[in-house]
Amino acid sequence: MQEKSFQPSTTSRRAASHEPAVLFGIKDEEKIEAFEKMLSELLRFSDTIPEALNKMVKAALACEFGNGILDGKKSDMMVKSISGSILADGELRRQALLVIDRFAKADELNA
């Protein structure tokens, strides 16, 4: 299985709504578009909720601070801590699940 890159990419198509980016505090329009594009490329219906949430957190960090933030050994602890905080808060968990549902794609085998 090929590992997806968390490199921010831009798209020329504007999304109608940016609620997913608000969950992570991303405000720059280009970063929001890159974040949403990343989510649509990374999230799969076969992901568990913690896996999908970790992908979302990594995508948000990469878009907001650059891919280098995920290079350090402590980045896994940071992602786990942020993801755990989102799962522990009822409203944030609900928002995250809505984002997962919105952007997750079927796997090649499930398509």
Q: What integer pLDDT is reported at residue 41 of this predicted model?
A: 93
Residue 10: pLDDT band with limits 50, 70, 90: very low
Contact between residue 19 and residue 44 where contact means Cβ atoms under 8 Å apart: no
HSE-up (13 A, CA, CB side) for residue 30: 5
Has residue 29 got a pLDDT over 90? Answer: no
Contact between residue 2 and residue 24 where contact means Cβ atoms under 8 Å apart: no
* CA separation, residue 20 to residues 64, 68, 96, 103 (Å): 13, 22, 8, 10
- Distance between CA 59 and CA 88 in Å, rounded? 20
Across residues 68-95, what is the average pLDDT?
A: 93
The model's pTM: 0.72
